[in-house]
Amino acid sequence: MAAALALAIMLVVVVAVLSLAVNSQGQFPGGQRAPTPRPARAGGGKTPPAPKPPRRPPREKNERARGPRAGAAAAGPPAGAQERPPDPEQAFGDLRPLNRQALAVVMSVIDERTLGPVTRCRLTLKVQPDDGQAFEVTTRVAFPTPEDRAKVKVGATVPVRYDSEDHRRVVVEMDKPAGD
């Protein structure tokens, strides 16, 4: 009985190894895949196969690594075009400036994740602008060191920058001092 079991296991191992060896070699030279039967279509006649889309020429290796737009940007501006310096007040997409500063009281601190010395926290802040009504906002902050994380406690005051048009956009400025 033990010999039959050992023989069966050996047979399974040999078949698996041979299968892997054959599959790793790819298609045999001159070998073709057997056609698969297709269901008959209404009308009885054969329909011509759909045309394949044209193949794109292969890209160079370094262009693949950078992505499709990087190569176009590296080419530079078209001939005859003048390059203008960017307008610092212009907003690009969602990169509108955070145009107001204020102090905010920390209402709650929840540590979400710690990876090495970096701790990411979810802060609920009550922002108190000088020229308007106070508002609450929740934001995430990554503290680079445990010492920076220890500075932020419930009831503490932290300096923030926010967008006057969208109060959900708030950034805590940890490098600036604030009163407690």
Task: Write down the pLDDT at residue 137.
Answer: 92
More confident residue, 21 or 120: 120
pLDDT at 104 over 90: yes
Task: Write down the pLDDT at residue 125.
Answer: 94
Contact 164, 131 (CB under 8 A): no
More confident residue, 84 or 102: 102
**Listed residue (155, 153, 148, 154) closest to 174, CA to CA:** 148
Q: What percent of the chain has pLDDT over 70?
A: 62
Task: Write down the pLDDT at residue 70.
Answer: 47
Name the residue ranges covered by the structural domains of the chain: 104-172
Whole-number Cα distances in Å, 96 to 92, 129, 163, 172: 7, 19, 8, 16
CA distance 159 to 136: 14
More confident residue, 150 or 40: 150
